[in-house]
Amino acid sequence: MYRLAIIGFGVVGQGLAEILLKHKARLKKENGFEFSVVAVSDFVKGAAYDPKGLDLAKVLALAKENRISEYRGAKTGWNAIDTIVKSNADVVVEATFTDIKTAEPAYSHFKAALKSGKHLVTTNKGPTALFFREVAALAKSRKLQFRYEGTVASGTPALNLAGLCLAGNEIREIRGIVNGTTNFILTNMEKGKSYGEALKEAQDLGFAEAIPDADVEGFDAMAKVIILAKAVMGADIEVADVARTGITKITLDDINSAKAEGKRWKLIGRVAREGGAVRASVRPEKLDVADPLAGVGGATNALTFSTDLIRNVTIIGPGAGKIETGYAILVDLLAINRTAPAVKKAAPKKAAKRMKKIRKPAKKAKR
């Protein structure tokens, strides 16, 4: 039985809660995964903690009106750090907003979780991109798990594909569409919509970042490229190493003339091994329509992994969305369940009895 604390109860946290609520029986029967959500803490929506477990339907209903702190019978109003440190959770799910420049406050949440002995599962791109090595080392030193499948292409298993299914290959290059908003804008411009109209629609659909620059200037794609470089290729790639250009200079004329040539503009994130070094970029590229990435429209993401043993493998799937990203957290929780089974903690009384026994000196053996 895992006790979960969800930090950040926006789209992703709620998506996870909905999945857990709906599929509890299936997860137990088919995956042997049992859980109880003991805490939810959100900066705007409020916080509640019950060491015995919260009623998720109640939390979801209260969240709609930013009233989680009115949950009756629970300890309420704790901030994120208190919830992480003081709760009896085994796993912290970090799903607060992402800040690609400072990584805060999520990076502090990451450290607090691991330092207080809790596994960490996240969809947060900022701290995963900027501090991947530090967080991975901290988790390793505490024998805890740090899982982050949802940071790239939401629930589409891009990182698990690379880490598990392609094991034994040398991954030489990863290139792909890792930002749904810009792909949605480019696809809609090709259909005749203006840049502004398409951006507005992406914002209304809820997958654009709060500050549009994060998407359209390529910062979001850059964070994902850095995560791929560090986590998949083990490379030392930082923000300054990524050649980054967004889509703001692509005009309707550019799109139409590409179309006339049988080509399509896509914002491509790329990490490649080149002569002993790893290079990373995010930039608009004019792809031939025969390229598997060229046919990927709307907010969908796609990544092509070029390997030495099996050549190219392309994965296509959602890059954002409530249930899709909530699923990414679920898949990480199931991985923890498989690889680090929850330790059954003895009830306090039993544990005290056991301690007494240990302290009592053994009777001297008769000679």
Query: Is 224 annotated in the active site?
Result: yes
Contacts of 131 (CB under 8 A, 6+ apart): 103, 107, 110
CB closer to ligand HSE, 46 vs 126: 126
Closest contact distance (angstroms) between CB of 152 and ligand HSE is 8
What 8-state DSSP symbol labels residue 345? P
Tell whether residue 181 is a contact of ligand HSE (CB under 6 A).
yes
C-alpha dist (Å) from residue 358 to 348, 349, 355, 361 = 15, 14, 5, 8
Tokens of 107: 């990076």
**Interaction pattern, residues 201-230, with ligand HSE; x per rule: CB under 6 A:** ------xxx-----x----x----------
CB closer to ligand HSE, 105 vs 218: 218
Tokens of 250: 């692509």
Dihedral pair phi/psi, residue 334, rounded to 5°: -65, -35
Which is it for the CA torsion 142, 147, 148, 150, positive or negative? negative
Contact 224, 244 (CB under 8 A): no
The piece of 11-19, 175-183, 286-294, 329-337 that touches ligand HSE (CB under 6 A) is 175-183
CB closer to ligand HSE, 109 vs 224: 224
Give the residue, chosen from 179, 281, 306, 337, that forms a contact with ligand HSE under the rule CB under 6 A: 179
The piece of 39-47, 99-107, 177-185, 274-282 that touches ligand HSE (CB under 6 A) is 177-185
Separation between Cα atoms, residue 277 and residue 71, nearest integer Å: 53
Tell whether residue 320 is a contact of ligand HSE (CB under 6 A).
yes
**Interaction pattern, residues 110-139, with ligand HSE; x per rule: CB under 6 A:** ------------------------------
Residue 265: which of 190, 215, 320, 194 has the closest Cα?
A: 190
Q: What is the dihedral of CA 343, 348, 354, 359, to 10 degrees?
A: 120
CB closer to ligand HSE, 10 vs 77: 10
Look-up of token digits 């009756």: 72
Q: Pick the catalytic residue: 111, 118, 125, 224?
A: 224
Q: How many CB atoms lie within 10 A of CB 200?
A: 15
Amino acid found at 47: A
Closest contact distance (angstroms) between CB of 70 and ligand HSE is 31
CB closer to ligand HSE, 114 vs 185: 185
How many residues lie near ligand HSE (CB under 6 A)? 10
Closest contact distance (angstroms) between CB of 125 and ligand HSE is 6
Residues that bind ligand HSE (CB under 6 A): 179-181, 207-209, 215, 220, 319-320
Return the active site residues.
224
